[in-house]
Amino acid sequence: MLRSEDHFLEIVDSLFPLEHEHMLVGRGDDCAVLQCPERLCMSSDLFLEDVHFRTRYFNPEDIGYKGLAVNLSDLAAAGARPLGFNMNLIWPGYLDESFCRRMLASMAELAREFDLALSGGDLSFGRSLGLAVTIWGKSPERNMLRGQGQPGDIVFIVGEVGLARCGLILLEENDPELDRFSLAVGRHLRPYPLVSQGRELTGMKEVKGLMDVSDGLARDLPRFLGPDHGLELYQDFPVHPEVRAFCRDRQKEPLMFTLRGGEDYALLGVCSEKNWEKLHTGLQDLKKIGNIVEVPGIYLKGKKLELKGFDHFEKK
Amino acid sequence: MLRSEDHFLEIVDSLFPLEHEHMLVGRGDDCAVLQCPERLCMSSDLFLEDVHFRTRYFNPEDIGYKGLAVNLSDLAAAGARPLGFNMNLIWPGYLDESFCRRMLASMAELAREFDLALSGGDLSFGRSLGLAVTIWGKSPERNMLRGQGQPGDIVFIVGEVGLARCGLILLEENDPELDRFSLAVGRHLRPYPLVSQGRELTGMKEVKGLMDVSDGLARDLPRFLGPDHGLELYQDFPVHPEVRAFCRDRQKEPLMFTLRGGEDYALLGVCSEKNWEKLHTGLQDLKKIGNIVEVPGIYLKGKKLELKGFDHFEKK
């Protein structure tokens, strides 16, 4: 058991360094004082038990990892260099010290990989485990916004989509064939934040806009395109082999499944048709998925698709 | 009922302006881009139902107010000028739209008073209502730290202590005489953040250190003094008249009660004995409470007091 707040802080201090080039006053005072770039990116995400994860199939390391990774993904989509984060932890009494250590050690490992300072936070008891992380970093010179594409432009993705939803379903159902879908399961438990890809894309002036896909393409594409535009999908839309296999087993339509899947934390970008070759050659992981059209909606062979993505307030 | 995430965001946008001199890219993209001072203060606090507040006696306006106010108090203790905040909201399905509007309108009013930008956040369903706010602001040139006092120095408070605990007990017990203790009750429901006092004190070079008292003097004084020092309390320690009346009714020792009380969000400061008159004349709300001594502990007439403050992990 965690004996006291001080006991918890000891664990934190043993895992997260108190020194960082951007931290003038670190944790332990009323608030941190940070040496900041003039343009700062900041983003917050909740990561809650039984909403965003379950302790039945997330081990402590997965929770610590993903609670921070989803925040890194927001900075990735802004092309920012992450520098630090504040961590609010809601801690239920029934979890033990070892759970806490393992969870935080895994978070600390990811923080170290990206050279992040833990700049503060808060701790409270609660009925179920929860993390609320606010991440901050150096913004690039230009703002990587949504709604920057024009009709005819190419929309592309970096990373995979659909895999994480496939993993989620398999884990929820405790499927005996989890091993057949190790990529999908891994993508749900530990999405890798595409920070370096986001920074690289931001550095290429041909990329007009960028966004991370957290709620699924069905929901995020309209946000990315803006209210006046839609997307005509290519017929060879890149559906991942594991998603294909999963959909074959369950008689689902793989494209529709992929478009509805959330939590992949892939990046969505846009460039003009003429710049595509240049971009594509420079960054080989890009996959183009469609062309922007003048009417809202997502289309395949000119036919509008009926789609819904993830909304915390809507019934699934 | 809140119909969707977009519905919630509509309410937010109707209450919190999207424009702010320090917000280059506002809410609605992957992350905000902020125009930052070089030295930035940042702090986070959780504010959770049935841990930090109860909906039985906190109305929606109180919750919205206090969820932000406790964060402002952290910046007050750093002498910082608050500029903006991110708000993570955990929303239980049983609350209705009117509750949400009232809560956020009250938070927006406090934000307006301090000219704060709402720079982002996240929203999720959850079992009970919760807020996790991260506030940021301009740090003063010098760091207002803990552990700066020396033996003989005077420790003082700005604001009252003990009142909020008195209010909490009365509210928890649904006491029929709540009206007799309106200050105490008000202090628990709506602690006013002492931002201008914090900035003023920071501007006076005689003030060596500053801290906000959120967990009670019994717990916060040792943190403020550091491991090598203690405090000899003055015998005329300022116990508030409502706390006196409360303790008389219940046969409690008023000083001990006051020292154990948390959540007042008063400020604790330290200066040398010779500078006290100057400080006191400049800022009339200061009350000196004791002198620093060379041994850890809190003393009255040379006798060490047995005290404990608030710890989220310890039984009360």
CATH code for position A49: 3.30.1330.10
What is the reported pLDDT for B309?
55
Residues in chain B: 316
Pairing of strands A297-300, A230-233: parallel
| B219 shares a domain with B194 | yes
CB contacts under 8 A, A 2-61 vs B, are 2-8, 24-25, 28-46, 48, 50-52
Within-domain flag for A256 = yes
**CB–CB of B237/B258 below 8 Å?**
yes
Alpha carbon distance B66, B71 (integer Å): 9
CA distance A313 to chain B (A): 5
Q: How many CA atoms lie within 13 A of A107 on its CB side?
A: 30
Question: Does the model's pTM come out above 0.90?
Answer: yes
| B212 shares a domain with B78 | no
pLDDT band at B316 (very low <50, low <70, confident <90, very high): very low
Partner-chain residue, chosen from B29, B40, B88, that has the shortest CB–CB distance to A132? B88
What is the reported pLDDT for A309?
55
Alpha carbon distance A268, B60 (integer Å): 38
What is the reported pLDDT for A312?
54
Instruction: Write out pLDDT tens, residues B124-179.
Output: 989 999 999 999 999 999 888 888 899 999 999 999 999 999 999 999 999 999 99
CATH value at residue A195: 3.90.650.10
DSSP state of A315: -
- Domain with B83, as residue range(s), is 5-138
| B295 shares a domain with B158 | yes
Query: ipTM of the predicted structure?
Result: 0.92
The answer, for B77 touching chain A at a CB cutoff of 8 Å, is yes
Domain C-terminal end among B79, B104, B138: B138
**Which residues of chain B make contact with A3, given a CB cutoff of 8 A?**
313
| A123 shares a domain with A175 | no
Within-domain flag for B293 = yes
Strands of the A286-293 sheet, one edge to the other: A209-213, A266-271, A154-158, A286-293, A230-233, A297-300, A303-304
Instruction: Locate B201 and state its tokens.
Output: 């004190």
CA-based torsion, B292, B293, B299, B304: positive or negative: positive
Greatest distance between any 2 Cα atoms in chain A: 62
Within-domain flag for B314 = no
The answer, for B88 touching chain A at a CB cutoff of 8 Å, is yes
What is the reported pLDDT for A311?
55
Count of H-run helices and E-run strands, chain A: 10, 13
Mutate to test the interface with A, among B122, B145, B148 (most CBs of A within 10 A): B122
Which residue in this structure is represented by tokens 């202090």?
B187
Q: Which residues pair with A122 in a beta bridge?
A: A88
Mutate to test the interface with A, among B24, B38, B39, B44 (most CBs of A within 10 A): B44
Alpha carbon distance A64, A87 (integer Å): 11
| B188 shares a domain with B114 | no
**CB–CB of A174/A269 below 8 Å?**
no
**CB–CB of A92/A127 below 8 Å?**
yes
Q: Under 8 Å CB-to-CB from A106, ≥6 apart: which residues?
A: A60, A61, A62, A63, A64, A65
Alpha carbon distance A165, A131 (integer Å): 21
Within-domain flag for B278 = yes
**CB–CB of A195/A186 below 8 Å?**
no
Total CB pairs under 8 A between chain A and B: 209
CB contact under 8 A, B80 and A46: no
User: How many domains would you assign to chain A?
Assistant: 2
Greatest distance between any 2 Cα atoms in chain B: 62
Per-residue pLDDT 10s for chain A (316 aa) are 777 888 899 999 999 999 999 998 888 777 889 998 999 999 999 999 999 999 999 999 999 999 999 999 999 999 999 999 999 999 998 899 999 999 999 999 999 999 999 999 999 989 999 999 999 999 999 888 888 899 999 999 999 999 999 999 999 999 999 999 999 999 999 999 999 999 999 999 999 999 999 889 999 999 999 999 999 999 999 999 999 999 999 999 999 999 998 899 999 999 999 999 999 888 878 999 999 999 999 999 999 998 765 555 554 3
Instruction: Locate A265 and state its tokens.
Output: 């934390």
- Across B252-315, the runs of DSSP E, i.e. the strands, are 266-271, 286-293, 297-300, 303-304
Percent of chain B at pLDDT above 70?
97
Using only C-alpha atoms, what is the Rg of chain A? Answer: 20
Please provide residue B41's backbone torsions phi and psi, each rounded to the nearest 5 degrees: -95, 140
CB contacts under 8 A, B 126-185 vs A, are 126-128, 130, 132, 134-136, 139, 143-146
Reported as type and span, the H/E element at residue A138 is: strand A130-138
What is the reported pLDDT for A316?
38
Q: How many CA atoms lie within 13 A of B59 on its CB side?
A: 8
| B173 shares a domain with B292 | yes
- Across chain B, the runs of DSSP E, i.e. the strands, are 23-25, 32-35, 39-48, 81-91, 117-125, 130-138, 154-158, 209-213, 230-233, 266-271, 286-293, 297-300, 303-304
Instruction: Write out pLDDT tens, residues B185-220.
Output: 999 999 999 999 999 999 999 999 999 998 899 999
Query: Dihedral, CA atoms, B58, A311, A189, A105, nearest 10 degrees?
Result: -30
The amino acid sitting at B5 is E
What is the reported pLDDT for B172?
96
Instruction: Locate B248 and state its tokens.
Output: 């008389």
What is the reported pLDDT for A188?
97
Please provide residue B85's backbone torsions phi and psi, each rounded to the nearest 5 degrees: -155, 150
| B196 shares a domain with B99 | no
Instruction: Write out pLDDT tens, residues B226-244.
Output: 999 999 999 999 999 999 9
What is the reported pLDDT for B313?
54
Whole-angstrom CA distances from A292 to A90, A154, A209, A230, A288 are 43, 6, 13, 6, 11
| B273 shares a domain with B200 | yes
| A183 shares a domain with A105 | no
Q: How many CA atoms lie within 13 A of A222 on its CB side?
A: 19
Reported as type and span, the H/E element at residue A182 is: helix A182-189
Within-domain flag for B149 = no
Alpha carbon distance A55, A42 (integer Å): 28
The amino acid sitting at B207 is V
CB contact under 8 A, B126 and A121: no
CA distance B248 to chain A (A): 32
CA distance A179 to chain B (A): 31
Partner-chain residue, chosen from A44, A87, A132, that has the shortest CB–CB distance to B120? A44
| A195 shares a domain with A78 | no
Calculate helix-pair angle for B195-203, B60-77, nearest 10 degrees. Answer: 10
CA distance A253 to chain B (A): 26
CB contact under 8 A, B39 and A34: yes
Within-domain flag for B262 = yes
Cα angle A19-A69-B37, degrees, rounded to a multiple of 5 = 50
Domain C-terminal end among B138, B173, B205: B138
**CB–CB of A230/A300 below 8 Å?**
no
> Which chain B residue has its CA at the smallest distance from A24's CA?
B39
Closest CA to A63 of A7, A4, A128: A128
DSSP state of A180: G
Instruction: Write out pLDDT tens, residues A43-56.
Output: 999 999 999 999 99
CB contact under 8 A, B44 and A312: no
| A118 shares a domain with A161 | no
Within-domain flag for B94 = yes
What is the reported pLDDT for B174?
94
What is the reported pLDDT for B315?
42
Alpha carbon distance B163, B158 (integer Å): 13
The amino acid sitting at B42 is M
Instruction: Write out pLDDT tens, residues B37-88.
Output: 999 999 999 999 999 999 999 999 999 999 999 999 999 999 999 999 999 9
**Which residues of chain B make contact with A53, given a CB cutoff of 8 A?**
none
Alpha carbon distance A210, A212 (integer Å): 7
CB contact under 8 A, A31 and B3: no
Reported as type and span, the H/E element at residue B169 is: helix B163-172
Kindly provide the b/e burial profile for residues B34-55, where b requires at least 16 CB atoms within 10 angstroms of the residue's own CB. Answer: bebbebbbbbbbbbbbebbbeb
**CB–CB of A122/B132 below 8 Å?**
yes
Closest CA to A143 of A207, A219, A234: A207
CB contact under 8 A, B33 and A45: no
